[in-house]
Structure 1
Amino acid sequence: MTAPLAAVERTALLTAALRAAETSRPDRLYDDPYAAELAGRIGPELLAEVVRVTFPPDRPSDLPSTPDYNAIRTRFLDDRLRELVDDPTVTQLVLAPAGVDSRAYRLDWPDRLRWFEMDRPAVLAYKEQRLAGRNPRVRRLTVPADLTADDWEERLTAAGYQPDQPSVWLLEGLLYYLPEERVRQLLGRIRAVAAPGSRVLADLVNETALTLPSMQNLLRVFADWGCPWVFGTDDPEGLFAAYGMTARAVQPGDPDAHYGRWPDPVPPRSEPGVRRVFFVDAECR
């Protein structure tokens, strides 16, 4: 019997439920045969709440499509991670936090790669229980650590991570749950243990997404779960630049992140008052 998951940790089960739903579609953008098992009973219940507010039965939806967004985010990051680790100098990849992500199991990776999954012990234990008997396709190393704790760097290096070697980091579905001070602390700490040439992938929302009236029903769902969205930025490039990283940000619906599935227009970055999501690819200088 594993320990219960905290509020933010439970959102990983929502992501798994979304990936299970995507896998069932004939026009799916990826296959995740582990997602339904990882979602468990709770994941579909969380997804049902999100769907109810996203697609109200009595009026047209004015919210972004969470299923389409999650499908595009997953596929975009799948593709980008595989492109980055094709570089023969990259020997380590860090999921921070790991959640119940199954990329180590469902995708092929180079033999040289060491795959670090860092998360709180309860999350890692839940995942081990759900995937018992399944073998990852990469050398997977778990790091029980809280990203808000003082010692996660020591725990990561004790597991075999080498700060002087290039690495790839994935911060998926995390930063909007953290206050700005903690976002900045985390980016600074990652940069301190990431060698020049390392890459950091992340997703972010802008400030407007947190305040628009049309977003409030969806944001209230997360707040009621105990994990409100509290951070957004209209300048993701500037945010990462402050910590020695050169970033490129794209939005779902841009040519590099569309896949024929984004249903909404993508106004230019100069247009104010628009909710936005950014996929960030940052290189450590």
Structure 2
Amino acid sequence: MTTPLDAVERTALLTAALRAAETRRPDRLYEDPYAASLAGDIGPELLAEVWHATFPAGRERTLPSTPDYNAIRTRLFDDYLQEAAKDPATTQIVLAPAGMDSRAYRLNWPGRVRWFEVDRPTVLAYKEAQLGAAEPRTDHHKVAVDLTAPDWEADLKAAGYDPTVPATWLLEGLLYYIPEPDTHRILERVAAISAPGSRIAADIVNSAALTLPHMRGLLDVFAGWGCPWLFGTDEPEDLFARHGFDVTATQPGEEGADFGRWPDPVPPRDEREVRRVFFVHGRRR
């Protein structure tokens, strides 16, 4: 029997439940045949709470549509990683944290790519149990370590990661759950073991998304689970630039981050006191 997941770790089950729900849609943006198993019994319960808060009966929705956001995010990062893998120079992809991600199993990858999944031991053990006999479609390496550990880079290198050649990093569903100092520490440490030309992608909310009164319904759900949102920034380009990455930030609904699914207006970047989320992607200088 695997060790129970803690509050933050359980959010990976929510993501899996969202991906399972998207897979059942006739107009789905992607297909994840492993998501339902990975979500288990808990994932749908978490999704039901988010759904109730987001789409209250008899009232207009004021919160961002988590199902549409997650669908867009998953498809966008699917495409991003697949495009990166087409580059002959791409030989290693790192998911940190990996959560219940199944891209190594549901998508095809070039034989030259080594795939690293970094996450806490309890998460990877749960995931392995849920996947059963499923086989990854790539040279797959699990790195069972917490990203706040003092030496997770050593574990990653021991698994075969080479810091002297460019890598592609995905930090998905991470940065809003950790305090600002930890965000800087993680980006600093990723940069330190990323050769020039390495790619990075992530998602992050803005500061107002943490404080606006009409966001309370969603924020209270996560806080009630014991995993509140802790960090956001209105200048993601500057955040990543401080750590040696030149990035572009795109909002859901903008070109390349819509897929016909984002239901809300896209606020201009100079408009203040509005909730927003960014998809960030770029390269190490």
TM-score, scaled relative to structure 1: 0.99
Work out the CA distance in 2 between the residues paired with 1:104 and 1:25. 22
Which runs of structure 2 are paired with 1:18-29 in the superposition (5 Å)? Answer: 18-29=18-29
Work out the CA distance in 2 between the residues paired with 1:244 and 1:48. 40
- Residue in 1 aligned with 2:13? 13
> What's the CA shift string for 1:154-187, capped at 9, x where partnerless?
0000000000011000100000000000000000
Number of aligned residue pairs: give it.
285
Q: CA deviation at 1:190?
A: 0.2
Q: CA deviation at 1:208?
A: 0.6
Q: CA deviation at 1:58?
A: 2.5
SS at match of 1:116: strand
Q: CA deviation at 1:282?
A: 2.3
- Residue in 2 aligned with 1:252? 252
Q: Is the 8 A contact 2:267 2:276 kept in 1?
A: no
Work out the CA distance in 2 between the residues paired with 1:277 and 1:119. 24
- Residue in 1 aligned with 2:232? 232
The answer to whether structure 1 residue 222 and structure 2 residue 222 are counterparts is: yes
- Residue in 1 aligned with 2:48? 48
- Residue in 1 aligned with 2:162? 162
> What's the CA shift string for 1:178-213, capped at 9, x where partnerless?
000000000000000000000111000000111111
Identity rate, percent: 66
- Residue in 1 aligned with 2:81? 81
Q: Is the 8 A contact 2:201 2:279 kept in 1?
A: yes
Q: CA deviation at 1:132?
A: 1.2
Q: Is the 8 A contact 2:93 2:114 kept in 1?
A: yes
Q: Is the 8 A contact 2:145 2:152 kept in 1?
A: yes
2:83 alignment partner AA: E
Q: Is the 8 A contact 1:12 1:99 kept in 2?
A: yes
Q: Is the 8 A contact 1:248 1:280 kept in 2?
A: yes
> What's the CA shift string for 1:18-40, capped at 9, x where partnerless?
00000000000000000000000
Work out the CA distance in 1 between the residues paired with 2:165 and 2:281. 18
Which runs of structure 2 are paired with 1:1-285 in the superposition (5 Å)? Answer: 1-285=1-285
1:81 alignment partner AA: L
1:112 alignment partner AA: R
Computed over aligned residues only, the root mean square deviation of the Cα atoms, in angstroms, reads 0.5
What 5-or-longer segments of structure 2 have no aligned partner?
A: none
Q: Which runs of 4+ in 1 moved over 2 A?
A: none
Work out the CA distance in 1 between the residues paired with 2:184 and 2:117. 21
Work out the CA distance in 2 between the residues paired with 1:249 and 1:148. 25
Q: Is the 8 A contact 1:16 1:100 kept in 2?
A: yes
SS at match of 2:77: helix
Q: CA deviation at 1:85?
A: 1.4
Work out the CA distance in 1 between the residues paired with 2:54 and 2:107. 30
Work out the CA distance in 1 between the residues paired with 2:274 and 2:282. 23
Work out the CA distance in 2 between the residues paired with 1:29 and 1:100. 18
1:260 alignment partner AA: G
Q: Is the 8 A contact 1:94 1:116 kept in 2?
A: yes
SS at match of 1:185: helix
Q: CA deviation at 1:268?
A: 1.0
TM-score, scaled relative to structure 2: 0.99
1:227 alignment partner AA: C
Work out the CA distance in 2 between the residues paired with 1:144 and 1:68. 31
SS at match of 1:263: coil
SS at match of 1:257: coil
